[in-house]
Amino acid sequence: MNDKWLGTPPFVILPRLRSLLADLEQLAVPGSHPVPNEVVNVRNCIVASRAVPCLMGEFSGHPSIKDGPGITSELFYLDGKRKLARTLSRWYRFDEGLI
């Protein structure tokens, strides 16, 4: 059964949401600076808007999408100082900052 809003079966979306929750809980601990194990780099990055906030840019190192221009899924976390963003599935780093 797919969720109407997320379009993903619960057995797929629930582990992703648990992973997101664990990452956000770590970030909520005062003084905590967790280092993500896997980070996708984004060049020429801007915060864009679809129906939800997302990143657009040139991606490299994504495990299932070829390098090049793209757009992320919904952003759940964005830290301009640390140049990190978190979507439902993964971490992104924008080393060159936001445009």
Alpha carbon distance 49, 66 (integer Å) = 22
Over the stretch 40-66, which tens digit does the pLDDT of each residue have? 999 999 998 878 888 999 999 998 889
**Domain membership flag for residue 4:** no
Domain range holding 60? Answer: 10-93
Residues 60-74: what's their mean pLDDT? 91
**Domain membership flag for residue 71:** yes
Whole-prediction pTM: 0.65
**Domain membership flag for residue 45:** yes
Cβ–Cβ < 8 Å for 74, 54: yes
Whether residue 83 is predicted with pLDDT greater than 60 in this model: the reply is yes
Q: What percent of the chain has pLDDT over 70?
A: 92
Number of separate domains in the chain? 1
**Domain membership flag for residue 5:** no
Whether residue 2 is predicted with pLDDT greater than 60 in this model: the reply is no
**Domain membership flag for residue 2:** no
9 pLDDT band (50/70/90 cuts)?
confident
